[in-house]
Structure 1
Amino acid sequence: MNISRRDLLKSTSAGFGYVAFAGLTAANARRGLATDAGVAVGESQNPLAAKQPHFPARAKRVIFLCMQGGPSHVDTFDYKPRLALDHGKRGLYGGSLLKSPWQFRQHGDSGLWISDLFSNVAEHADDMCLLRSMHCDQPVHPGAMTQMHTGTAQFVRPSLGAWTLYGLGTENDSLPGFVSLSPPSGSSRNYGSAFLPAIYGGTKVGRGSRFAQGMASQETVPDIKNPNLSDRQQRTQLDFIQALNRDKAKRQPDHPGVEGVIESYELAFRMQSAMPELMDTSDESSQTLAMYGADGGPTATFGKQCLLARRFAEAGVRFIEVTHGNWDQHVRLSADHQARAEACDKPIAGLLADLKQRDLLKDTLVIWGGEFGRTPSGQNGDGRNHNNKGYTIWMAGGGVKGGMSYGATDEHGFEAVENKCHVHDWHATILHLLGLDHEQLTYRYAGRDFRLTDVYGDVAHDIIA
Structure 2
Amino acid sequence: MENSFTESPLSKSRRQFLLNTGMGLGSAALASLVPQVGAATGRSGCHHRPRAKRVIFLFMAGAPSQLDLFDYKPDLHKLFKTELPKSISQGQRVTAMTKGQKQLVVPSKFKFSQQGKSGLWMSELLPHLSTVADDLCMIHSLNTNAINHDPGKTSFCTGSEIPGKPSMGSWLSYGLGSLNKNLPDYVVMPSARWSGKVNVQALYARLWGSGFLPSQHQGTSFQSTGDPVLFLSNPTGVSASVRRRMLDTLDEVNRKHFSEVGDPEIQTTISQQEMAFRMQSSVPELTDVSKEPKEVLEMYGPEVNKPGSYASNCLLARRMAERDVRFIQLFHRGWDHHTRLPENIQGQCNDVDQATTGLLKDLKMRGLLEDTLVVFAGEFGRTVYGQGNITPENYGRDHHPRCFSGWMAGGGVKGGMSFGKTDDFSYNVVEDPVHVRDLHATMLHLLGLDHNRLIFPHQGLDQKLTGVDPARVVKEIIA
Coarse TM-score class (shorter-chain normalised): 0.7 to 0.9
Does residue 88 (structure 1) correspond to residue 87 (structure 2)? The answer is no
Contact 1:390 1:416 survives alignment (8 Å): yes
Residue of structure 2 equivalent to 1:73: 66
Contact 1:299 1:346 survives alignment (8 Å): no
Q: 1:117 aligns with which of 121, 125, 131?
A: 125
Residue of structure 2 equivalent to 1:31: none
Contact 1:299 1:343 survives alignment (8 Å): no
Residue of structure 2 equivalent to 1:11: 10
Please give the secondary structure, in 2, of the residue aligned with 1:175: coil
Q: Distance in 2 between matches of 1:232 and 1:457?
A: 52
Residue of structure 1 equivalent to 2:354: 346
Contact 1:391 1:415 survives alignment (8 Å): no
Residue of structure 1 equivalent to 2:223: 206
Q: 2:150 aligns with which of 123, 132, 142?
A: 142
Contact 1:82 1:412 survives alignment (8 Å): no
- Percent same amino acid among aligned pairs? 40
Given the superposition, is the C-alpha separation of residues 280 and 299 from structure 1 closer, same or farther in structure 2, using an over 3 Å criterion? closer
Q: 2:282 aligns with which of 274, 281, 284?
A: 274
94-103 or 190-199, which deviates more: 94-103
Q: 2:463 aligns with which of 441, 447, 450?
A: 450
Contact 2:50 2:448 survives alignment (8 Å): yes
Q: Distance in 2 between matches of 1:148 and 1:296?
A: 27
Residue of structure 1 equivalent to 2:38: 46
Ranges in structure 1 where 5+ consecutive residues have no aligned partner:
23-44, 211-217
Deviation of 1:230 (Å): 0.8
Does residue 193 (structure 1) correspond to residue 210 (structure 2)? The answer is yes
Deviation of 1:12 (Å): 5.3
Q: 2:451 aligns with which of 438, 452, 455?
A: 438
Q: 1:232 aligns with which of 241, 252, 267?
A: 241
Contact 1:83 1:98 survives alignment (8 Å): yes
Ranges in structure 2 where 5+ consecutive residues have no aligned partner:
22-36, 90-101, 192-200
Residue of structure 1 equivalent to 2:311: 303
Contact 1:120 1:349 survives alignment (8 Å): yes
- Counterpart residue identity of residue 128, structure 2: N
Does residue 248 (structure 1) correspond to residue 247 (structure 2)? The answer is no
Given the superposition, is the C-alpha separation of residues 321 and 294 from structure 1 closer, same or farther in structure 2, using an over 3 Å criterion? farther
Contact 2:187 2:328 survives alignment (8 Å): yes
Does residue 394 (structure 1) correspond to residue 393 (structure 2)? The answer is no
Aligned length: 431
Q: 2:55 aligns with which of 59, 62, 68?
A: 62
Residue of structure 2 equivalent to 1:27: none
For 1:352-389, what per-residue CA distance to the aligned partner results, in whole angstroms no more than 9, with x for missing partners? 00000001101100010100110011110211001011
Contact 1:289 1:295 survives alignment (8 Å): no
Deviation of 1:462 (Å): 0.3
- Counterpart residue identity of residue 373, structure 2: L
Contact 1:48 1:165 survives alignment (8 Å): no
Q: Give me the TM-score of the superposition, normalised by structure 2.
A: 0.85
For 1:11-33, what per-residue CA distance to the aligned partner results, in whole angstroms no more than 9, with x for missing partners? 359649849979xxxxxxxxxxx
Given the superposition, is the C-alpha separation of residues 75 and 248 from structure 1 closer, same or farther in structure 2, using an over 3 Å criterion? same
1:147-186 maps to which residues of 2 (within 5 A)?
147-182=155-190, 185-186=202-203
Q: Distance in 2 between matches of 1:106 and 1:49?
A: 48
For 1:138-194, what per-residue CA distance to the aligned partner results, in whole angstroms no more than 9, with x for missing partners? 110000000000011124100001101111112111100000012783321110001
Normalized per residue, the structure richer in helix is 1
Residue of structure 1 equivalent to 2:384: 376
Q: Distance in 1 between matches of 2:416 and 2:373?
A: 15
Contact 1:294 1:300 survives alignment (8 Å): no
Residue of structure 1 equivalent to 2:321: 313
Q: Distance in 2 between matches of 1:88 and 1:250?
A: 73
Residue of structure 2 equivalent to 1:462: 476
Contact 1:175 1:271 survives alignment (8 Å): yes
Given the superposition, is the C-alpha separation of residues 2 and 293 from structure 1 closer, same or farther in structure 2, using an over 3 Å criterion? farther
Given the superposition, is the C-alpha separation of residues 17 and 237 from structure 1 closer, same or farther in structure 2, using an over 3 Å criterion? closer
Q: Distance in 2 between matches of 1:298 and 1:422?
A: 36
Please give the secondary structure, in 1, of the residue aligned with 2:338: coil
Contact 2:159 2:465 survives alignment (8 Å): yes
Does residue 385 (structure 1) correspond to residue 384 (structure 2)? The answer is no
Given the superposition, is the C-alpha separation of residues 19 and 224 from structure 1 closer, same or farther in structure 2, using an over 3 Å criterion? closer
Given the superposition, is the C-alpha separation of residues 449 and 21 from structure 1 closer, same or farther in structure 2, using an over 3 Å criterion? farther
